[in-house]
Amino acid sequence: MRIGELAERAGTTTRTLRYYESRGLLPARRDTNGHRTYDEQDLKLLRQIRTLQDFGFGLEETRPFVECLRAGHPEGDSCPASLAVYRRKVDELDALIAELGAVRETVARQLAHAERARAKLADEAVVPGGPEPVCELGGRTR
């Protein structure tokens, strides 16, 4: 198949395919007229790359999976190098989850502190018959 058909079937652009080719992830085969030609195996490579990228893998992180498929394995994640990338990605995700959990806790503490401070100010600011406090951002506090 030609580059346009492959791009369409893979849900990408011809520009992306040329980029993958320049990075050595997609083979550069040409017919007698000089047109790029691809087969179903190339489509499988692209689908593997796209799936991994959808999961947050960088382009270079997809290389072991592509090489595994090119070596004739039925799945790109059946080789030791691919498994090593999975392990690194799981470790990376675990670290991000821990970091986000810490950030969430900090924000939750700040929210609780701000709500307590706001309630205290509102209680102190209420003077019978006096004006209602106005929020600095332009709205009424109650």
Domains and CATH numbers, the chain: 3-125 (1.10.1660.10)
pLDDT of residue 128: 61
**52-75 burial: b if 16+ Cβ within 10 Å, else e:** beeeebeeebbbbbbbbbeeeeee
Mean pLDDT, the chain, integer: 90
pTM for the structure as a whole: 0.74
Kindly report, residue by residue over 80-132, the tens digit of the pLDDT: 999 999 999 999 999 999 999 999 999 999 999 999 999 888 887 665 665 56
For the chain, strand residue ranges (E) read none
At 142 the pLDDT is 53
Cβ neighbours of residue 50 closer than 8 Å, sequence gap 6 or more: 10, 11, 12
